[in-house]
Amino acid sequence: MVRISKIELGEFPLLLAPMEDVSDPPFRLVCKQYGADMMYTEFVSSEGLIRDAAKSRKKLDIFEYERPIGIQLFGSDIDSMREAAEIAEQASPDLIDINYGCPVKNVACKGAGAALLQDIPKMVAMTAEIVKASSLPVTVKTRLGWDDSTRNIEEVAERLQDIGIQALSIHGRTRSQMYKGNADWTLIGKVKNNPRIRIPIFGNGDVDSHEKALEMKNQFGVDGVMIGRASIGYPWIFNEIKHFMKTGEHLPLPEISDRVKVCRTHLEASLKWKGPVLGVIEMRRHYSNYFKGIPHFKEYRTQLVTLPTYEEVSAVLDEIESNFAGIPAFTTI
């Protein structure tokens, strides 16, 4: 049984990665329904929380059905991060996660996210302050290093464990790689198999199939895997991996009716959380992913990303289900 402090996650948990503009409550809902064992909020700005910015505060919304769930924070100032952790704790998550992995310019170039990989003493000091300030378990998500000349994750893992983090998720790329090339799990495996490491180690990067998840488990010994981009438009991936690991067999691919059902659930949750206008608008980024591979889909996509009301979008979803019945996911027709 894998545990983060007292949180039980099963034998080989599958974690939903925190993704900006993706892993909000409506998206988390469908991922939870299809097997995600542990989820995180979108990453929340410490400065935004301290200033009581509406967008940052909204990201603290969590619901009972999502548990266990962590709130992920990012920032460059130690005092601000400590204060933000105290604010986040009031939302009653199951844990606080620190983002030391985000590579995007508007985060890293402000000294936050993966930028802390260039200043390990500051990373350690920041983490120690958050651990002391929080009554909840504190975990970290990071990368192998800033670039190929500073792949210092083995040192980072030991030092963060020593000051009290309860789990570590590692993305198998450096910051300089962004999301390019292949994730390198070799160092993730070295961290996991370091006899000094006692906390759970979760691997992240390029886990996009049942076979890949099993390979990472068997080859590198990680305690679980974190899935990000492969879950976008395809929440079934969690249950598919679990079924494959248990039986060695593949679940049938979801058909159009399944995809429409999940897409509609996501849309309805989006409206409930964001309201009838923003809920429709912000759902538009997801349609191409839910219906990836369907032939001659451009006309429907145009409608889905332009129609302004739930009723109109729902009617298009009904038409898609009727016209493409029986076509499985990711067809190449």
Catalytic residues: 102
Kindly give, in sequence order, each residue whose CB lies less than 8 Å from that of residue 200, ignoring residues fewer than 6 positions away.
2, 3, 4, 9, 166, 167, 168, 223, 224
Strand 39-40 with 69-74, pairing: parallel
Report how far apart, in Å, the C-alpha atoms of 262 and of each of 10, 72, 84, 191, 236 are: 25, 26, 34, 37, 10
- Verify cis geometry, omega within 30 degrees of 0, for the bond prior to 137: no
In angstroms, how far is CA 185 from the centroid of its own chain? Answer: 18
Q: Residue 220 — φ and ψ, nearest 5°? A: -115, -10
Report how far apart, in Å, the C-alpha atoms of 200 and of each of 166, 170, 178 are: 7, 11, 25
Task: Please tell me the distance from the alpha carbon of residue 226 to that of residue 17, in angstroms, as a whole number.
Answer: 6
